[in-house]
Chain A
Amino acid sequence: MIAALKKAYANFRGFDLTHSAVPPMEGPLRPNTRLDAMPVALALDGIDNLVRFGEVMMCSSGMRLITLSRAGQTLNAVEAAEQPAPISCLASDGSDALAVGLDGSGIVIRGGKHDGRTIDRLGDAAFSCPTSALFVDPDTLVVANGSSRHNAADWKRDLMSQGSTGSVWIVDLAATGGAAVTRLAENLAWPSGISLKRDGSFFVSEAWRHRVLSIERKGGAPSVALADLPAYPGRIETAMAGGFWLALFAPRNPMVEFVLLEKEYRRRMMETIDPEYWIAPNLAPSKSYLQPIQGGARKMLNRLKPWSPTWSYGLVCYCDAGMRPRWSMHSRADGHVHGITTLCEWDGTLFAGAKGSGVVVVAPILETDGLVA
């Protein structure tokens, strides 16, 4: 009763009981147009999961696993192999093995000594939503299951139904009698990226709670390494100069935060409307007029303002070894490198893959960039 009264009073006064106020982009996250200024290395619809694999780079586009060769600042697709399901994550062990996440059916190992091994169950449940994988050593794989209820492609539905059924597992590929899995963390709201720290523990981004967790190798309660992000964090890549690259795949939006409080509206929206046209974050601006716009995103004098409220955004943040943001690269509301889902560093060059806009942009990493840490 008292809780209900408190809630009614907070509703009346407009207090934020749910921590749904979106923090402003400021300090290290101050907006710029660096992503838009970067040259395009490759244009490919649905580009995702860039990963170094020996002397080539691998990426995915839908169900195709694509081999890319590098020529300076451009990438060329040389070979493509069809997989049985859409590829939702990739990981390389640094030599000849590739872990391929297949949306809805878990992870399969291609090449190396564990070639053909599949991980399709995590404990008692099916492994249906591989969002990220990481080889700790050639026999040990860490995987994230984004949600136990939705597939990776259904991320929007998981967000809008306020899912928190994700988990992180460590997989011993060398174990006798098939891969042995151990749970590191559970009840996560869409774990979407894993990175290895120097001390052997992991950083895991928890997208729907807009934060990055630190998880010990032996499990236990995760601690919060970075919180209150103004966007949903995804993949984390280790930077050669020390520190990490953090890709944030979609912006938080006050209207979405409001809809997340509106249970009945969300239910009816999810039941009756195509996810493309929901009030929800997006990887790229919709081409259709059926997607709602916000007041500030109205074109004035025929121009969309860069500071318009937006459902999609491009954001890469460089964080130091302790996961503190140092500086960032942006593509704002009017930009064209939205929905960065994957990052890959190769010989002093950063490749940023924007799944939303379907491009890979490239930038040399300046010494000063790393030295900021």
Chain B
Amino acid sequence: MNWSVAFSNESVIKFTARYLPRHVVGEIMTKRWIDNAVPFLALLLVVAICGSLVPDFYAASSITDLGRQVAEFGLVVLALSIVMISGGIDLSVASVFSLSVLLSLIGVNVYDWPVPLALASVLAMGAACGAVNGYLIGFLRLRAFLTTLVTLIIFRSLYDILFLRMSTAIMAGFSDSELFFFIGEGLVFGLPVSLLIAGTIAIAWHIVLSRMRPGWRLTAVGGARRSAHNAGIKVRWTVFLAYVWSGILCSLAGFLFAARLGSTGADTGVGLEVSALTAAVLGGTSIGGGRGSVAKAIMGALLILILTNSLVNLGVNGPITSTILGAVLLIAVFIDMRWLRHRTRILAKLYVSPAYLVLPPLPDTAAPDSPYALNDRLRSVEIIGLGEIEGPEDVILDRNDNLYCGTRHGDIVRFFGPDHKKSEIFAHIGGHPLGMAFDREGNLLVCIGGMGLYQVSPDKVVTKLTDETNRSLFSIVDDSRLRLADDLDIAPDGRIYFSEATIRYEQEEWATDALESRPSGRIIVYDPRTGSTRTEVPSLVFANGICMSNDGRSLFFAESWTCTISRYWFDGPEKGKIEPLLTNLPGYPDNINRASDGNYWAALLGMRTPALDLALRMPGFRRRMARRVAPDQWIYPNVNTGCVVKFNEKGEILESLWDFGGENHPMITSMREHKGYLYLGGVSNNRIGRYKIPGADPTWVAEESYWGPRK
């Protein structure tokens, strides 16, 4: 069978592009938890293999026993993980563990301390041991590896000395504490007590590490020590605390161990640091710091415990088990290194996921009777602000003839009317201002790419209105934050409808979204009366221009990559209806605005080309292009030619204004009519154009068309 022919069949392409959610793969890859996928799969594999080889693997008693061991070992792995996340390493975990076992038994068995006192003193001892490490490494800046190697030996020696003196006393003594026995052997709801304790601690640490400031600071210190310092984090103190917590968790693990076994031996805790390190790395905690989680620690601990227990059960002797663990550690380190190095590259290859899109045949622009007939009417327009502004995506005029535009430097510039020779920076917001509109009170509302919806009052006060909407149920990327708010308009009741072009890319990556042509944009409504933000129309292909129709109940919106302008009723009897109005534009529509004669202007930011139209029907071609060809070499919509069209509510094109060849105005992204003139903006231009519209009403002002004459 000839596969290339089979797969090139267009209906197959259409089917797979529609029903095979390729983009999901890339989106999952952006998630931080994807790091856990490999250890999780390894865990499943180990469980499956060991479960089939080891007799009684799934028996209740084995699982309870495993639970108790997981509680102790897991705490040690967690301790080590915390230190590793902070960018260090703690080899002394095993020695602290054995010291704690000894101290617990001395307290409970020999001196009959009450259990809480024994626990407190054990934890204090652990904290002290951690503090020694933390002080030496955090404040005196000694090397973590050598320091903890030394403390490993010192604490171990302490253990050996104390063990020799006290072993007979421990053996002779016996605890009659019910509580101590309960901690060691008890079950609550069928679960070992020690597992419950460890589980509670794990959940607490999960919340701290993933949701709270101390955890984020710890990760920051491990990820980039200098940046963390520059960000104002107390690096030394954070490192110190990481070791203290490591000591505390290890000592708790030792206490649980003592409670379970009630005795200790000369080899208690020997080699534990290697197993713990193996478990941490196997779980996916990075040796270099800055990456790790409680889930990783637990998975690593489970992997190692199941592996060692099963090997012991199968009669494999100690040295061989150690060899196997060593080999596993080596493989884990190798995978960790490769994964870290290639993750972003794999992501870059997988993320771009073009859709299948068929555009109708290109309308003819060469015929003189075509509504799109070519002309050069925009070639000789007046030019405003040449070289003073960069990137006026949208332009707007107020009742006093002042002209406002955004720039890529994050400013809103105001040109003073009526001649627009002088200008000032009206407001500095920081992100690139895109669509603009005036509300009833004369506030300027602006969509800012990457930031959200902002308001600038006439006295220049900048207020954030919204930067998030409701998270949709099945989205994988977080679509609650606004990534690319694009254009807006205001309903008569004050509700603000604005478009978000895409939830998958940032503003400067708009061309990658064009390459995908996937419905990842939407229309969102912000209600100033309640301060709420809701997604109103989801799944639009690069939702762009928005303009209220003159009936006050519906709006027109543009979807750039499908070359359509549609009408959406948000009120009235037809509420919720969407009707495509223009479905075959010769270019990619951008902003839409009202014209003085009751019709509407739409800017075409670029023109369709047959080669790109063909590529849109071949998702595989575009996917390979995205992978193999540098973005600078990709084929783009032809944004070097600009065009403005006027349409009416019936969906007829009334006229077209061209700058054929794009000498003055390539990539026209917006236009506003004001007192008989049309003002032109372009997101990558360094000027604003002013075109006298023949026969247009010389008194018409957009603000009055929305909000009535000046009061």
Contacts and interface: CB of A to CB of B under 8 A. Distances in A.
Given A264-B621, A289-B609, A289-B640, A279 B635 contact: yes
B323 interface: no
A287 interface: yes
Interface in A247-275: 253-255, 258, 262-265, 268-269, 272-274
A262 B8 CA distance: 11
Interface string B590-624: 00000000000000000111111011001001001
Interface of B: 4, 8, 362, 390, 511, 607-612, 614-615, 618, 621, 624-625, 627-636, 638-641, 660-664, 666-667, 684-687
A297 B632 CA distance: 8
B708 to A, nearest CB: 38
A85 B200 CA distance: 90
B610 A290 contact: yes
A14 interface: yes
A273 B611 contact: yes
A297 to B, nearest CB: 7
A268 B640 CA distance: 25
Given A264-B4, A278-B611, A295 B640 contact: no
A118 interface: no
Q: B362, B390, B631, B684 — which one has the most chain A CB atoms within 10 A of its CB?
A: B684
Given A292-B636, A294-B635, A302-B687, 13 more contacts: A258-B624, A264-B4, A269-B611, A289-B638, A293-B609, A293-B638, A294-B632, A296-B633, A298-B636, A299-B684, A301-B685, A302-B663, A302-B666
Contacts of A294: 632-636
A277 B611 contact: yes
Nearest to B643: A289
22 contacts: A11-B624, A14-B627, A253-B633, A255-B633, A255-B634, A258-B629, A263-B4, A264-B621, A268-B614, A268-B618, A278-B611, A289-B638, A290-B608, A290-B638, A291-B611, A292-B611, A296-B632, A298-B636, A298-B640, A299-B640, A302-B666, A302-B687
B685 A254 contact: no
Interface string A115-145: 0000000000000000000000000000000
Given A262-B624, A264-B4, A301-B685, A289 B614 contact: no
A302 B635 contact: no
A303 B633 CA distance: 18
Given A296-B632, A301-B390, A289 B610 contact: no
Nearest to B7: A264
Contacts of A258: 624-625, 628-629
A264 B627 contact: no
Interface of A: 11, 14, 253-255, 258, 262-265, 268-269, 272-274, 277-279, 287, 289-302, 304, 309
Contacts of A302: 663-664, 666, 685-687
B684 A14 contact: no
B121 to A, nearest CB: 59
Contact of A291 (B615, B638, B664): B638
Given A262-B621, A274-B610, A290-B607, A298 B639 contact: yes
Contact of A272 (B607, B610, B624, B660): B610
Contacts of A290: 362, 607-610, 638
A272 B361 CA distance: 11
A309 B633 CA distance: 6
Contacts of B664: 302
Contact of B611 (A279, A301, A304): A279
Given A254-B633, A292-B636, A14 B628 contact: yes
Contacts of A309: 632-633
Contacts of A264: 4, 8, 618, 621
Contact of B666 (A255, A263, A299): A299
A269 B634 CA distance: 16
A293 B618 CA distance: 18
A292 B609 CA distance: 6
A110 B630 CA distance: 50
Q: A258, A264, A279, A290 — which one has the most chain B CB atoms within 10 A of its CB?
A: A290
Contacts of A298: 636, 639-640, 666-667, 684
A299 B635 contact: no
A306 B422 CA distance: 33
A356 B8 CA distance: 36
Contacts of B627: 14
A289 B8 contact: no
Contacts of A274: 610
Contact of A265 (B621, B628, B686): B621
A287 B660 CA distance: 9
A190 to B, nearest CB: 22
Contacts of A296: 632-633
A254 B635 contact: no
B12 to A, nearest CB: 12
A293 B640 contact: yes
Contacts of A295: 511, 631-634, 636
Contacts of B660: 289
B690 to A, nearest CB: 16
Contacts of B667: 298-299
B103 to A, nearest CB: 56
A358 to B, nearest CB: 17
Contacts of A304: 640
A15 to B, nearest CB: 10
Nearest to A265: B621
B661 A292 contact: no
A272 B614 CA distance: 9
Nearest to B383: A302
A293 B661 CA distance: 12
B612 A289 contact: no
Contacts of B641: 289
B638 to A, nearest CB: 5
A66 to B, nearest CB: 29
Contacts of A263: 4
B41 to A, nearest CB: 21
A120 B4 CA distance: 40
Contact of A287 (B608, B625, B661): B661
A320 B362 CA distance: 50
B347 to A, nearest CB: 15
A351 to B, nearest CB: 29
Contacts of B621: 262, 264-265
Given A293-B636, A298-B684, A254 B629 contact: yes
B585 to A, nearest CB: 13
A282 to B, nearest CB: 12
Given A265-B621, A293-B640, A277 B610 contact: yes
A273 B635 CA distance: 16
Contacts of B4: 263-264
B609 A291 contact: yes
Contact of A255 (B607, B629, B639, B687): B629
Contacts of A273: 610-611, 614
B635 to A, nearest CB: 4
A223 B621 CA distance: 36
A271 B479 CA distance: 42
Nearest to B366: A288
B615 A265 contact: yes
Nearest to A257: B629
A284 to B, nearest CB: 13
A369 B260 CA distance: 92
Contacts of B609: 277, 289-293
A263 B362 CA distance: 24
A317 to B, nearest CB: 23
Contacts of A301: 390, 684-686
